[in-house]
Structure 1
Amino acid sequence: MSKIYDQSAHHTYFQSHKQRAEVSKLLNDILLKPQIQPEVILNNLIKVITIVNGEWEPYSPAYFGSTQPELLFQFLKSEGILKAQPQIRDDIIHILSHGASVVYALINPTNKLSTVENTMVLLNIIVEPHNNDEKENAIVVLKYIMKYTTLKLEDEKIADFLAEKLDEICPSIICYVVEKLSSMSENTATILTNYLMNYIDDHKNSTDDFENEQRSLALEAISFIPKASENHAQVYTLMELYLQSDQLVYNESGLIVAQSVSLSIETIKNYILKFLDSKEYSLLFHTISVLISCSPVWDKDDDCCYIIIDKINDLLNFGSATIQDKAIDLLSFADPTSSRITEEILDTVIEMLATKSNIFETAQILINTVFNIRRGTLECGITMDEFRDKFFENEQEIIEALKNSPDAQEQFQKLVAILQADAEY
């Protein structure tokens, strides 16, 4: 029985490997050859979709190289190719939207020009799709490109396009995009804000899940629009209502808005402290980031401060690797001149650095910690000598962890220099 099972598994593996190689060749044949005919492009795309047959996860790492997503977008920007074979657009969007997250991560997140162009391509597809499936697939690709984009986009034409096409888009699309825009005209900001506020009001009695999600994202979008929240007192009222809601989708949006708008944390603290007991990690992380990014919480409310420290300790000590990394990210939100980090947290952070967890961010947090211990602005129950001993106990493990990350190595050298200089002093 075992022999039959092994043969079957071997056959499955061989077939899977053969199919992945075939998919990779089909894509390379159209992406890497100049002057390719539109008919050949379409034929290869159809073959790829047929071979994969909905099972995208095993294929994505195998055939999406570092340039392939961008090359696929080049086809989407070619009027000649798309005019000759309109179906090419549908199939490329299908492939990009159904691939694993690696597809989006491979699209250069620091290339502003490329990101602006790709965003405009997707928005044009969304407002004038060939069919509803293509529209939904384009929204998926847009969402993840915005997620992975690391730089603010300065081109105002994106916001202007949104303002012109309000009849064809929904609040979620505006929310995904405006979060990554660094500027828009005052007139465009007003048009978008009014549309979003009207949407929230028009659907306030809805029991439809989609419309409730859109209402929550509409308020988030307003908080990302320059000066919009300051010009609308109703934004604060809606934020409080969202925080008091019994629906998770509204709670999360309320917390995101609380981080984005200018207000005193004391006015809403009582609404959000209850979320520290939430079993929903996304809600818990949003809550902690709101609280620790506001120095009055740390400076003036000891009880709240230590509740948060205990919660972060629990996440670092008992959470999964993913949860631990997110907890490290949370610490980077804290105001370094007023945050209080316990010795237990420092122990865990140093250990995480030595075990390759979020190494660049972790090293930066430790540098900030050292500076503030020296200044006496950090209450953590640990002296510089104690910190130095803890750090150098793990030095070799840390060096090993950082060897493949030049940026993190640079941070590490800064930290070592600070510690050694302080010891000599």
Structure 2
Amino acid sequence: MTIALRRIALLLGAGALAVILLLAGAVLGAPGDAVDREEAVEQSAPAAEAGSLEALQARLERVPGDYPGWAALGLLYVDRARVTADPSWYAKAQAALERSLEIQPEENAVALTGLATLQAAQHDFEHAADTARAALAINSYDATSYGVLTDALTELGRYDEAADALQKMADVNPGFPTLARISYARELRGDIDGARQAMQRALDVAGSDEDAGFALHHLGELAWHYGGDVQAASELYERGLARDPDSLALQASAARATAAAGRTDEALSGYAEVTGRVPVQQYLVEEGELLASLGRTDQAQDRFDVVRIATTLLEESGSAVDLETALFEADHGSPEQALVAAQAAYARAPSVFAADALAWSLHVNGRDAEALQYADEALSLGGRPALFLFHRGMIAASLGRTAEAVRDLTSALEVNPHFSVRHAETAGTTLDRLAG
């Protein structure tokens, strides 16, 4: 999984079910007298105990006034969208959360937290930040809302504000979800050792197999993205799958590492199992690029066609996917569409990821002088992902800035020689050409 996808996984992967059960079983800042609050808790407790979508739906049919239960149902729908990659669940989540707010329009922190989570899942980060703040105005001790706020501000490129929100989250609850976000914040700033330490601590306190699998996956991703250590990453993915065998992220990452080890048939089988279950764009792109590298261009194009279908479905569901569209079209489709999408993504949320996508989209449109400033901005936070370095190196090469191009392309391959089936080879051949 790319860094760009792992940032969203932090929101929906770290302790997601625990959060859902918490919201189903307790009222945070509920209004009304003590009798009302006790009744709401009593109504919601059976749903929390059941812990399943079907049980909660049945419960709400019997007790339609259970507003914390409606909020919990909304979050369960968001989680179902994550697991299935089916954006139709977002509309159901919206309806359930709005129902909770209709029943209890005042000081309904649980529903606001759920709504902020939904908005973040759909990449509507500006509204997610505002909604999370509204929830925190009701209950300033809610670590979940601080987590959503941290994620949203990070995606908006407001890194200092995100750090403040993360510190408040740590003050309230320094547990697994907080440690996972601390790891990611350090990674963004280039502190890879610190990121590993925080994620190892998260693994140490993981309260479920899903959380343990999540932490092991991200430890594997750190080994992969910063060093290209195929063996170490593979071992961590295997350990993660032993804890959470249904994790698509772990399965896809294991397939990618298997391909890097030269076992391409096995890797393609792994990808086929993942994309056959859930059509996640990133996994389809990785599978398609591996097929293309093997000369199986028709099969690769089939995967890329599915990417466009999945993107359309997400857009129709209200999700913002400009950032992903920009990188995909720049590499596999229309440079013009890539630039339009990248400009929209950067205007909405000028993160380092948006800056990198805009730089690359400008490059494929032949506008390298403009692209260079955004490539520099992408690296300004301190993180040095191989893909960012590759993009800047290719832009510098196009501008005739040979020394910078050699430096950046060399660094990209040093950071991770397997960073991309498509681009790693290009980096090597470009270095050979520049040397010649």
Relative to the length of structure 2, the TM-score reads 0.39
Relative to the length of structure 1, the TM-score reads 0.40
Tell which structure's C-alpha radius of gyration is larger: 1
The higher-RCO structure (CA 8 Å, 6+ apart) is 2
More helix by percentage: 2
